[in-house]
Amino acid sequence: MKGWKVVVSLGLAVLACAWSDKASAVAVVRTLEAGGEVTSLDYDAASGLLIAGVKVPLPKPDGSCASVARVWDARSGRLLHTLKGHKRCHVDVAVANGRALLTTSDEVRVWDASTGSLQRHFGALSTLAPAALEPKQGWVATINGDGCSASIQALSSGAVLHRFEHCMAPPDVTQDHLRTLTFAPGGGLLLTVGHETVQGWDPATGNRRWSLQRNRERAFYKDTTLSHALSPDGKLLLTGGVDNAFRLWQPSTGRMLRQADHPGRSHDHTGAIAFSPDGTFFATGGESGRIHLWTQSEGKPRQILHDERHTIVSIRFSRNGRLLAAGCSHGHVQLWDLSTGQLRHRLEGEHFVMDPPGGDLLVARPGGKLELIQVQN
């Protein structure tokens, strides 16, 4: 079997294979069993905690299912907790600074990361909606059942501290329903992101600081805001949508700093954006299948990564800024070398995290397996 080699990871009882060509090689150095289809994935580098939302079939003839969240120590591969109780098939998961775990499905639940015990749950949701946790302040932000407002609740008591009315249109006008919400680093700002508006709030007082509205003359469709990202220091906000443009904002004031179009297309849905770890440049990707890399000031992209097969739906950088992983709409993950602009590998899978211990990428593969991938030069 020319071109193949076998690697044994001692102490983990894992058999891993590596495949190679003249340019590069990747190796599977660890496999974790999720026990079902992975629906979401998150990793906290500081604590080394890895959490996966898992769809679990129920022993019923109607084919019904529920969901659990499994938590591992990413350094050793040891399963720490299995968090149960959600009744829907899909659960979103997140790690907040290694202190708390957040699971969102039929309701929002916050768990103690060290013990796996349930700290508090925050009622049933009418639809699956994202939530955000600010562990330092002890705040949980959730989208309310009306889809037009959000609330901040105290983790300690469950009391509602503030309610944020995101939709400002009168009742006879189409409402700008919320898509997601995010705390800025440090917890001094809460972002609520709708189809047409991004708004910034003071989470301590409940006051609106600013509102960023789409340019209606340029928009092709109603759902303009598809993606957003904050720079690592929280001083820049990047938004992307369906009008072939991205916009760079100053979140402290709501002032737009820059707007630019993607070259070569009349429109390109920008559904994936991310900042580099040092915040000096960022990447945008979308319907065209191209990934554009930009600096904060240049008017054209510094680099374009070509693999125009399927829509780019997510982008992540490695911590050293040398690798970029992109999730695609057809259920594959691309791994790019930014020093050469070359596609290093294409892996079957949908959810992934960058830079887990011992590897470059961890991918949720079909069949309920999480595989730790290492890129070899």
DSSP tag of 306 = E
For position 377, what pLDDT does the model report?
A: 61
User: Residues 339, 23: contact at Cβ < 8 Å?
Assistant: no
User: Residues 43, 356: contact at Cβ < 8 Å?
Assistant: yes
Token representation of residue 353: 């995290």
Domain at 113, CATH number: 2.40.10.480
Residue in the block written with tokens 């600010």: 134
Mean of pLDDT values over 355-375: 92
Q: Count up the domains in the chain and report the number.
A: 1
Per-residue pLDDT of 43-95, as tens digits, reads 999 999 999 999 988 877 877 888 999 999 999 999 999 999 888 888 999 99
Q: Which of 237, 283, 235 is nearest to 262 (CA)?
A: 283
Checking if the pLDDT of 22 tops 50, the result is: no
User: Residues 224, 272: contact at Cβ < 8 Å?
Assistant: no
Checking if the pLDDT of 16 tops 90, the result is: no
Q: Is residue 39 in some structural domain? A: yes
For position 375, what pLDDT does the model report?
A: 82
Token representation of residue 210: 């600013």
For position 127, what pLDDT does the model report?
A: 60
What confidence category does residue 220 fall into, taking pLDDT thresholds of 50, 70 and 90? very low
Checking if the pLDDT of 244 tops 80, the result is: no
Q: Is residue 101 in some structural domain? A: yes
- C-alpha to C-alpha distance for 310 and 332, rounded to whole angstroms: 9
Q: Is residue 306 in some structural domain? A: no
Residue 73 sits in which domain range? 34-128
Q: Is residue 119 in some structural domain? A: yes
For position 200, what pLDDT does the model report?
A: 93
Residue in the block written with tokens 């002890």: 138
Q: Is residue 371 in some structural domain? A: no
DSSP code string of 161-211: EEEEE---S-TTS----EEEEEEPTTSS-EEEEESSEEEEE-TTT--EEEE
To the nearest whole number, what is the mean pLDDT of the chain? 83
Q: Is residue 353 in some structural domain? A: no
Checking if the pLDDT of 170 tops 70, the result is: no
Checking if the pLDDT of 252 tops 90, the result is: no
User: Residues 50, 34: contact at Cβ < 8 Å?
Assistant: no
For position 296, what pLDDT does the model report?
A: 81
Checking if the pLDDT of 267 tops 80, the result is: no
Highest mean pLDDT among 206-220, 257-271, 296-310: 296-310
Q: Is residue 64 in some structural domain? A: yes
Q: Is residue 347 in some structural domain? A: no
Give the chain's end-to-end CA distance (angstroms, integer).
21
What confidence category does residue 353 fall into, taking pLDDT thresholds of 50, 70 and 90? very high
